[in-house]
Amino acid sequence: MTRLILATRNPGKITELRAILADAGLPHELVGTDVYPEVPDVKETGVTFAENALLKAHALARATGLPAVADDSGLCVDVLGGAPGIFSARWSGRHGDDEANLRLLLAQLSDIADEHRAAHFACAAALALPDGTERVVEGRLHGVLRREPTGTNGFGYDPILQPEGERRTCAELSPEEKNAISHRGKAFRALVPVVRELLG
C-alpha cells in the first residue's frame, strides 16, 4: 500500500480526503503532516492557489520521499477582481483572524448592490511525487455574498457565502451537505483519477 501524505495538520481535512479515496476504491494510506513533526511549514509565496499548493506538495514530497498532496483555497469576489483570493486568510492583516477578515470584506462591499455580489470559493489541489512529477486540479463553489453573517458551522467566509441554488449560507449547511458541494471536495474528487494514474 502506497502511503500518501497530505500537507495539513487539520484532522477534518484528512478525514475528508480519506473518505473520497475510499469511495473511489483507492487503497492508499493517507496521513497528515502531524506524522512527520520534523517537516517545517512552507511559506506560501506563490501568486495563485495552484502555485501555493505546488510549493507545499513539492516541499513535503522532498522532505519525506513520499507522494504528497497539498491544497490552497480562498474566496474570490467578482467586483474586487478576484480578491481577497490568495490573501483570504490574512485579508485584515492578521493571518487566520476570521472575524476581522469577514468584517473588513463586508465593509468594503457595503455599497455594492445585491446583483453585483457574486463570488466563489476556489481550491487548487496538487499532487507531487518525489521525482518532481506534479499535477494540479481545481474546484469552485459559486454563490453570492450576504450582507450579514449567518450560521455557525464552517469557518472563514462560510457565514456570508450563499451557494447557487441555496437559501442558506455555507455556515448553515451540515458538514455533509457542505462537503458534497464544496470547492475543496470538488478539487479532492478531481484528484482521484490523478492519484490512480500516477500511483495505481
Burial (CB count <10 Å: 0-12, 13-18, 19+), residue 65: exposed
> CA-CA distance, 7 to 3, in Å (whole number)?
13
Q: Which residues are annotated as a binding site?
A: 8-13, 72-73, 155-158, 178, 183-184
C-alpha distances (whole Å) from 5 to each of 78, 87, 200 are 34, 25, 16
87: containing domain: 3-199
Separation between Cα atoms, residue 61 and residue 14, nearest integer Å: 17
pTM of structure: 0.92
Is residue 137 scored above 80 in pLDDT?
A: yes
Percent of the chain, pLDDT > 90? 78
Quote the number of domains for the chain: 1
Task: Identify the active-site residue in 34, 71, 72, 78.
Answer: 72
Report the alpha-carbon distance of residue 79 to residue 94 in Å, rounded: 23
Look at 96 and 168; give whichever has higher pLDDT.
168
Question: Of 157, 183, 162, which is closest to residue 173 (Cα–Cα)?
Answer: 162
Strand partners, 73: 123
- CATH number of 169's domain: 3.90.950.10
φ/ψ (deg, to 5) at 70: -140, 155
Q: Which residues are annotated as a binding site for substrate?
A: 8-13, 73, 155-158, 178, 183-184
pLDDT in tens, 28-41: 999 999 999 888 88
Catalytic site includes residue 131: no
Q: Is the pLDDT of residue 134 over 90?
A: yes
State the binding site for Mg(2+). Answer: 72
pLDDT at 1 over 80: no
The whole-angstrom separation of Cα 169 and Cα 9 is 26
Q: With bands split at pLDDT 50, 70 and 90, how would you rate the model's confidence at 9?
A: confident
Tens of pLDDT, residue by residue over 54-67, are 999 999 999 999 99
- Residue of 142, 154, 139, 157 whose CA lies nearest to 20: 139
